[in-house]
Chains A and B, each alone.
Chain A
Amino acid sequence: MANLAAVVGIGQTKYTTKRGDVSIAGLVREAAANALEDAGLGWDDIEAVIIGKAPDMFEGVIMPEIYLTDALGCNGKPMLRVHTAGSVGGSTALVAASHVQSGTFKRVLTVAFEKQSESNAMWALSTPQPFSVHLNAGAGGYFAPIIREYMRRSEAPYDVGIKVAVKDRLHGARNPLAHLQKPDITLQEVEESFMLWDPLRFLEACPSSDGACAMVIASEDLAEQSPKPPAWIRGVAMRSEPTMYAGREEVSPQAGRDCAADVYQQAGITDPRRDLDCAEVYVPFSWYEPMWLENLGFAAEGEGWKLTMEGATSLDEGGDIPWNPSGGVLCSNPIGASGMIRFAEAARQVRGDAGAHQVEGAKLALGHAYGGGAQFFSMWVVGSEKS
């Protein structure tokens, strides 16, 4: 059986379009130092460092752990670099947790980052290949047709995405670290924003951010001595499937459903909407909230949009299952870190340490990340209690 492990420190940077005041090393160190301070620990208390980010081409630094070892106090320690596309922030947290859950380490530091301002992510993803036509349409161009298919199947009204875009920005306005600060956003403003990839409007898509997120994960005995409440890791799961294969279900991928079932089973969750208090879910495009509500079992197939429209996922409307109280990826998107931010924000909730976006009395929370063509999934469930 896996050893118990817990998050005992969380550190983030402010998310913003361009952090010109720090280097890549300065950015990751800032998040890591914040996590250590939160845990009441110093660099020497850390036994290993697990780092994650999206493709190296986003900053043009190959295997950046090699250069970042000094900034993260790693000399003489083990350092591991994870890369699982957009889900990497989540999988990095899981690999870090496995260092402790396997009984191999007592306390590790994990960091995920992206400094998108230092290169051009769109370009990095668009090296031309002759067997596909070169459209340069980005992630929105890939996901918009899948969203359209969801709309067709579910017969959801056209404005569900608009509602999510507003809801997450209002959540983000409670979170001083969130990149987009739009406390006065309205449905009309989103609806009138530029249609980028029909049916996705400009304000229904995530921004491009610089930022880093870090966590300290410790064994049961050390976590119990921690100055602040630990977030106990109650379940961990990853799943992958190929990008393209005949008959693939793209709207509600099997890998996501299997991953959720696995993590719920470990955490003793039978009805996620009832058993969980909140969820931080990777929603880079507004419509992915209703789609993931169904994929993750919070709603029956074709019914996810109803939860959104009822306000069930909204803090401001007093919903029973707030999704992305931090503002989510729609407010801050340092790609490689985005998944870890979901995992860390879930942990903040169950530690009762989420400030103005705290879900009152949250005891059990889901952190979720996905990547590639919605084919790589990583999830964890964290709780205020050990079991």
Chain B
Amino acid sequence: MQQIAIVGYQQSDCVSWAGATNEVELIMPVLRRVFDQVGLANAQDVDFVCSGSCDYLQGAAFAFVAGVDALGAVPPIKESHVEMDAAWALYESMLKIRMGHAKSALIYGFGKSSPGELPIVLSQQLDPYYLAPQWVDTISLAAMQARLMLDQGLITERDMAEVVARSRGNALNNPHAQLSGDIAVDELLAQETYVSPLRKSDCPPVSDGASAVIICTVEQAIEWGVPYAIISGIDHRIESHNLAMRDLTDSVSTRQAAQGAGMADGSVDVAELYAPFSHQEIILTRALGLGENTQVNPSGGVLAGNLMMASGLSRIGELFNRITSGEARRGIAHATSGPCLQHNLVTVVESA
């Protein structure tokens, strides 16, 4: 399979409320920075653009159309959009490059989750006849998943708190993180439960922001003369929507995606996992068989800031940063969608 290079990644700060800023105003500064990073003028300098967003976050149909207003799309450009996390927009862009219709692509994701009540909004992802009318929110579903794991003795609350403490600590080195700090595990465990057995700290913050990545052929990266990392594999798999049919303590589709992406073909120095809830990081780490040689979520992960529709893309970008800075030689980035890790994408990134 043709190797594809990542040459740029930028993310806005994760903030709990982006104020009066609208979508185009959220996106433009991030795009400006990623163009500058690669030395491009604007979207006219790439062959394809693909974005990921969700109308329901801000509560207006065609919210993504505003994204086009940030691109300088005159003359017209080759552009597409997925109503998914932008990690899947990157997947679509890779197909375009592999089929020879583009040498380079800009991918961006954006989300303004603050205007609505995100966990309740996302309840409308569920089966519209049986589940959505019950308004089961995403936190409650994750709480049930955590309860299964606790009751089966697969994890302890201390394990979960350790994930949170490490996330907050790692996030001290991430200037865009929303939540960071030195917190002792016991301090976390002393907090009240929020949606039992989850504490607030086990749940991701609601964040506004955007992120952007530029990918291209290796030849193009060399021509541009910029540092790059190589995407050596990518795959994604979905599993049943019927939660009762799934083993919620495992993530079969993550394992399938990792296999398809060729994760096992080399060492995994670093893993950026899109685990919105602390116990889900443990599920993913185990499903992927990651051991002590793998550093998990050096960015702090999404427990430190969760840009819905961009967090999956940001995981790939964070991995790019680790590899181009020389901190790691090879790693994986993971993205997820749907309740209780229903749909998962794994990208393998290596040093050039």
Residues of A that sit less than 8 Å from B by CB: 1-3, 23-24, 55-63, 65-70, 74-85, 91, 95, 98-99, 101-104, 118, 124-125, 127, 129, 236-243, 245, 253-255, 258-259, 372, 375-376
Contacts and interface: CB of A to CB of B under 8 A. Distances in A.
A127 B238 contact: no
Given A83-B64, A127-B59, A239-B78, A77 B237 contact: yes
Interface stretch (B12-20, B79-87, B189-197, B269-277): B79-87
Contact of B256 (A1, A76, A84): A76
B100 A2 contact: yes
Given A80-B91, A127-B61, A372-B65, A57 B78 contact: no
A76 B126 contact: no
A99 B95 contact: yes
A18 B53 CA distance: 29
A95 B128 contact: no
Given A65-B238, A77-B237, A79-B343, A238 B100 contact: no
15 contacts: A2-B99, A62-B56, A63-B83, A63-B338, A66-B241, A67-B128, A78-B236, A80-B84, A85-B65, A95-B80, A98-B99, A127-B60, A236-B101, A242-B74, A376-B79
B125 A67 contact: yes
Interface of B: 1, 49, 54-56, 59-62, 64-65, 68-69, 71, 73-84, 88, 91-92, 94-96, 98-101, 121-122, 124-129, 132, 235-242, 252-253, 256, 337-339, 342-343
Contacts of B98: 102-104
Given A95-B80, A255-B76, A66 B65 contact: no
A372 B63 CA distance: 11
B92 A76 contact: no
Contact of B74 (A1, A24, A241, A372): A241
A240 B240 contact: no
A79 B256 CA distance: 13
A94 to B, nearest CB: 8
A66 B253 CA distance: 13
A238 B241 CA distance: 32
Nearest to B127: A67
A66 B83 CA distance: 11
B242 A70 contact: yes
Nearest to A254: B76
Given A55-B62, A66-B342, A80-B88, 14 more contacts: A56-B83, A57-B55, A58-B61, A59-B128, A65-B343, A66-B238, A68-B241, A69-B239, A79-B343, A80-B91, A82-B80, A82-B92, A83-B83, A124-B61
Given A83-B64, A91-B80, A239-B76, A75 B238 contact: yes
A236 B99 CA distance: 11
Contact of B77 (A75, A103, A240): A240
A101 B99 contact: yes
B145 to A, nearest CB: 16
A238 B60 CA distance: 24
Contacts of A242: 68-69, 71, 73-74
Contacts of B337: 63, 66
A386 to B, nearest CB: 16
A240 B237 contact: no
B128 A60 contact: yes
B234 to A, nearest CB: 9
Contacts, number: 183
Contacts of B56: 56-57, 62
Q: Which of A77, A78, A124 has the most CB of B within 10 A?
A: A78
Given A55-B55, A239-B76, A242-B74, A82 B338 contact: no
A102 B95 contact: yes
Contacts of B64: 83
Contacts of A61: 124-125, 128, 132
Contacts of B126: 66-67
Contacts of B60: 127, 129
Contact of B62 (A76, A85, A98): A85
A287 to B, nearest CB: 22
A62 B62 contact: no
B338 A66 contact: yes
Contacts of A74: 238
B93 to A, nearest CB: 10
A51 to B, nearest CB: 10
A57 B54 CA distance: 10
B238 A79 contact: yes
A242 B71 CA distance: 9
B54 A62 contact: yes
B37 to A, nearest CB: 24
B262 to A, nearest CB: 13
Given A63-B54, A63-B337, A238-B78, A98 B61 contact: no
Contacts of A124: 61
B128 A55 contact: no
A2 B101 CA distance: 8
A284 B129 CA distance: 31
Contacts of A67: 125-128, 241
A59 B261 CA distance: 34
A77 B256 CA distance: 9
Contacts of A57: 55-56, 61
A253 B253 CA distance: 43
A267 to B, nearest CB: 14
Given A69-B239, A77-B238, A95-B95, A239 B77 contact: yes
A83 B81 contact: yes
Contacts of B59: 127
Contacts of B84: 63, 65, 80-81
Contacts of A3: 99
Contacts of A102: 94-96, 98-99
A77 B257 CA distance: 9
A55 B94 CA distance: 25
B42 to A, nearest CB: 13
B82 A76 contact: no
Nearest to A266: B101
A254 B96 CA distance: 22
Given A23-B129, A62-B122, A75-B239, A238 B79 contact: yes
A125 to B, nearest CB: 5
